[in-house]
Amino acid sequence: MNPISLAQIIDSVQDLPTLPAIVMELLNNIDDEELNMHELAQKVSHDMALTAKTLRYANSPYYATMIKVTTVQQAISLLGLSTVRQIVMTAALTGCFPENNCQGFSHKEFWRHSNAVAIAARILARRLNFNVDVAFTAGLLHDIGALVLATCYSEAYEHVLAQREELQATQFETEKQILGIDHALVGETLAVQWNFSEVMIKAIAGHHHPEKPGLGFLATIIHVADGIAHALGVTTSPDLAPPEITGQSWESLGLDQALFDEVLAEAAIEFEKLQEAVEV
């Protein structure tokens, strides 16, 4: 099978649909603590499909309130800006890529894992005094390159998924061996195309090898969150060789086994609640 070049990937991501304007704005201002709540509510409300999804999430048991949420503004007032920002991001991104017939690739399983990583990243960020919105979004997007490969190169990616079992390797390693490119590099390319922040680009690019110089703290958080999500076993077809959390990552986050177990238990409870509330 012919390898896929970076030039081909660049051409492919240019043909992908752009994200809704409100999501691009949220991504570009993700560390802005002063984001105008009224403006956000107005902009989300202009997209009927996004509003419906946001309100469905807001009224789920996961975000349970005593009051029925009927508007985006009310959702922000009851749940807080940070939570609604994460809801809007999740609602928009999960509907951005149309499902296709890439055999062996399940969109549902993909988003289950992505949500689990996002939840684990948020828990870690909270404990490490890192921006929880940035960590959650990076967790949600960390494997977006795999979605690009399954969408734009479905036949080639079917071969990767089939060979992964035979090779007893991680998906990441199998991609490099068969395609000559991996989903982290593809995700980085898409992140650049969509004008993500530098910290987000580096986290997506380096979540498998955060020890490489210059990748930043967020890449390490996502790397560990990815390991936690695999430990949770949230998909019915888990990677046969899940990525190991590097020792350097443990040290740089100040993790020990007891803290890891605490985060794992908290993530399991949060994911179970989310699973009961919405289809992930």
pLDDT in tens, 53-75: 788 878 877 776 778 888 888 88
Indicate if the alpha-carbon torsion angle 4, 5, 11, 17 is positive or negative.
positive
**Overall fold of domain 99-280:** Hypothetical protein af1432 (1.10.3210)
Comparing CA positions, the residue from 148, 245, 142 lying closest to residue 202 is 142
Range with the lowest mean pLDDT among 32-41, 150-159, 173-182, 268-277? 32-41
State the average pLDDT over residues 14-34: 72
User: What is the rounded distance in angstroms from the CA atom of residue 280 to the CA atom of residue 265?
Assistant: 19
Residues 201 and 214 sit within 8 Å (Cβ to Cβ): no
Q: Helix 144-152 vs helix 107-127: angle between axes, to the nearest 10 degrees?
A: 160
Comparing CA positions, the residue from 172, 146, 137, 159 lying closest to residue 242 is 172
Q: Dump pLDDT digits (tens) for 215-246.
A: 889 999 999 999 899 888 876 655 545 667 87
Comparing CA positions, the residue from 223, 270, 236 lying closest to residue 108 is 236
Residue 149: pLDDT band with limits 50, 70, 90: very high
Delimit the domains of the chain by residue range.
18-96, 99-280
Q: What's the pLDDT score for residue 235?
A: 67
Q: Which two tokens stand for residue 258?
A: 């007891």
Q: Which two tokens stand for residue 35?
A: 């984001």
Q: What's the pLDDT score for residue 194?
A: 84
Residues 89 and 30 sit within 8 Å (Cβ to Cβ): no
Range with the lowest mean pLDDT among 14-23, 118-127, 201-210? 14-23
Residues 222 and 114 sit within 8 Å (Cβ to Cβ): no
Q: Is 71 left (phi over 0), alpha (psi -120 to 50) or beta?
A: beta
Q: What's the pLDDT score for residue 239?
A: 54
3-state secondary structure 194-217: CCCCHHHHHHHHHCCCCCCCCCCH
User: What is the rounded distance in angstroms from the CA atom of residue 168 to the CA atom of residue 64?
Assistant: 42
User: What is the rounded distance in angstroms from the CA atom of residue 36 to the CA atom of residue 240?
Assistant: 45
Percent of the chain with pLDDT over 90: 24
Residues 205 and 188 sit within 8 Å (Cβ to Cβ): yes
Q: What's the pLDDT score for residue 53?
A: 78
Task: State the average pLDDT for the chain.
Answer: 83
pTM: 0.86
Q: How far apart are the first and last CA of the chain?
A: 33
User: What is the rounded distance in angstroms from the CA atom of residue 39 to the CA atom of residue 151?
Assistant: 34
